[in-house]
Amino acid sequence: MRSKLSLVEPWNLPMQEVYALFLNAVINGALALWVYTDSRLQERSGFWALGTFFLPYACFPLYFWNQMPELIWTCPKCQRDNRAWSRKCGHCDQFYTVEETVARLHGYLNPSDPVVIFLVTFLFQEVARYVAILAAEGFDVLTSTNLAAYTLPASHFWIVKLVIGNVLIWLSLLCITGRYRRTVKSIGLEYSGNLADFGLPLLLAPALAFVSVGFQQGIDWFSGHMSLGELEALAQWEQQQWSIGMPENFGDSTVILISFVMLILMPVGEEILFRGIAYISLAGRFGQTKGILLSALLFAVLHGYIRAFVPLVFGGIPIFIMGLALAWLYIRTKSLIPCIITHSLVNLILILIY
């Protein structure tokens, strides 16, 4: 069992808890600062920032998704965006009626959207995980086990991943089609019409998998040659989380479930979120180059390497590189389909290796 928190003697806390408390404070503080800065511009109550610091999974999504999205309309002639109040395209000078502009109104994706979706998805994951623990062990586990450190059986582990994969896709599509009144085609969720685009994933996927394996070996070497105490154990724990549910052979009953989650569900959901929403919103706000860098950084930070120092520094680098490559591929092909295929192939190669 973990030792309980003590405000009197914090040095007696296990290193894992100290690190978790520090990291949570940093993340919550950054989200609160984001909300505070926006609330000053929007002339909204500063209490949203205070609430975000203590309840980020509730207050941050509620703050941003309670705002009306900024509306724009796309000129059918030049395909450029215009502000809602203008009936004349500012790029090609084409004039439209009120009815024509209203019919084409849609929202302008905001950089806060991928963070909101991730936080809500993570909240669903935690709820689904605790429900799975109760289903696996019964209610007696509440008094006999540290639930935060509990390892789910493989079947239950992948059912949780199945749930959050569906939640991720549903929230992303709700954001695009419901909140912003855009079509899935507007984010590139369609075939580009160029068969050559499907050759790129076959080249990119093995290279990205090789980079990932190389950095994994680097983590193992670093952990083995440096005296890191509990940080080394944390790194090993992080690496083991995805391997605990891997089948020992292809006849295992979880193979179909793992294949569906890792090769279809997660690649589709993550590409819609990180390329279809994050890149578009960030590039629209900061330009293409910064959009590529920031969306790749967000992809790395939100991809699970948040529990230990070693995985955070080393394990996030190949994810960042993969984010850069997928953003480039998205720009190159103007479609999410090659990105999804590449993501799925990388997952397949890593599953077969590990």
- 202 has a pLDDT exceeding 80: yes
Percentage of the residues of the chain whose pLDDT score is greater than 90: 38
Residue 328 has a pLDDT of 95
- Looking at per-residue confidence, does 243 or 275 come out higher? 275
Token code pair at residue 318: 């190949």
pTM, two decimals, is 0.83
Residue 146 has a pLDDT of 65
CA 315 to CA 238: how far, in whole Å? 10
Of 55, 30, 20, nearest to 306 by C-alpha is: 20
Residue 324 has a pLDDT of 95
CA 113 to CA 119: how far, in whole Å? 10
- 254 has a pLDDT exceeding 90: no
What's the chain's average pLDDT? 81
Residue 237 has a pLDDT of 55
Q: Residue 193 — pLDDT band, cuts 50, 70, 90?
A: confident
Residue 309 has a pLDDT of 43
CA angle 154, 354, 115 (to 5 degrees): 70
Q: How many CA atoms lie within 13 A of 154 on its CB side?
A: 14
- Looking at per-residue confidence, does 228 or 176 come out higher? 176
Residue 74 belongs to what H/E stretch?
strand 71-74
pLDDT in tens, 284-327: 888 899 999 999 989 988 875 444 444 455 567 888 899 999 99
CA 207 to CA 188: how far, in whole Å? 24
In this structure, what are the phi and psi dihedrals at residue 304, rounded to the nearest 5 degrees?
115, -10
Residue 311 has a pLDDT of 47
- 278 has a pLDDT exceeding 70: yes
Under DSSP, is residue 354 helix (H, G, I), strand (E, B) or coil?
coil
- 341 has a pLDDT exceeding 70: yes
CA 172 to CA 257: how far, in whole Å? 22
Length of the chain, in residues = 354
Q: Residue 3 — pLDDT band, cuts 50, 70, 90?
A: very low
pLDDT in tens, 89-144: 877 888 888 888 777 777 778 999 999 999 999 999 989 988 888 888 877 776 66
- The residue extents of the domains of the chain are 108-353
Q: From residue 225, how far is each of 32, 91, 220, 229, 236 by CA, in Å? A: 38, 60, 9, 12, 14
How distant is the alpha carbon of residue 177 from its chain centre?
A: 19
CA 303 to CA 318: how far, in whole Å? 11
CA 39 to CA 60: how far, in whole Å? 12
Query: Which are the contacts of 39, defined by CB distance < 8 A and separation ≥ 6?
Result: 45, 46, 48, 49, 63
In this structure, what are the phi and psi dihedrals at residue 81, rounded to the nearest 5 degrees?
-85, 145
**Contact between 48 and 39 (Cβ < 8 Å):** yes
Residue 305 has a pLDDT of 47
261, amino acid identity: V
**Contact between 281 and 178 (Cβ < 8 Å):** no
- 12 has a pLDDT exceeding 60: no
**Cα Rg, the chain, nearest whole Å:** 22
- 56 has a pLDDT exceeding 80: yes
Q: Residue 220 — pLDDT band, cuts 50, 70, 90?
A: low
Residue 13 has a pLDDT of 47
- In the block, tokens 């930070």 appear at 301
CA 264 to CA 348: how far, in whole Å? 10
Range name among 172-176, 197-201, 249-253 with the lowest pLDDT average: 249-253
- 330 has a pLDDT exceeding 80: yes
Residue 313 has a pLDDT of 53
pLDDT in tens, 239-253: 565 566 666 666 566
Residue 194 has a pLDDT of 80
Query: Which are the contacts of 194, defined by CB distance < 8 A and separation ≥ 6?
Result: 333
57-66, 151-160, 188-197, 247-256: range with highest mean pLDDT: 57-66
- 256 has a pLDDT exceeding 60: yes
